[in-house]
Amino acid sequence: MKKLALSSSLLLIILLSACGDEAPQRGNTTENGLPQPDIAALYDMKCGICHGREGNLMVGGAPDLTKSVLDLAGRIQLITYGKSTMPPQKDLLTPEQIKDLATYVEKFRTN
């Protein structure tokens, strides 16, 4: 009985490992082949913790993005190199992701 259970488990592992040999094609991928997160998800993951989903949470000294007066180049610079309590993202995000985030936060501005 134990041999049957062991054989069944081994067969199941082999079958499951054979599934999914190809990653699903979902738009852009990162350098390591992982799916590229969409910009809203990337914002939530990297920025939303301190700035909030609407840009105005302001945790840990994070500025209110709804009142930002930075232009696109300034936002790219800030995201890339960081400032004060905001860590630089240049080694964590691609230049394209940084530009996409800088463009995305524009939607929070109310002025």
Domain CATH for 50: 1.10.760.10
Is 29 inside a domain boundary? no
Is it the case that residue 68 has pLDDT exceeding 90? yes
Least confident of 12-16, 42-46, 52-56, 63-67: 12-16
Rg over alpha carbons for the chain, rounded to the nearest Å, is 21
88 and 81 in contact (C-beta within 8 Å)? yes
Is 31 inside a domain boundary? no
Is 62 inside a domain boundary? yes
CA distance 72 to 63: 16
Least confident of 27-31, 61-65, 85-89: 27-31
**Can you read off the two tokens belonging to residue 77?**
């610079």
Instruction: Say what the pTM is.
Output: 0.66
Is 7 inside a domain boundary? no
- Structural domain span for residue 109: 36-111
Task: Tell me how many domains the chain contains.
Answer: 1
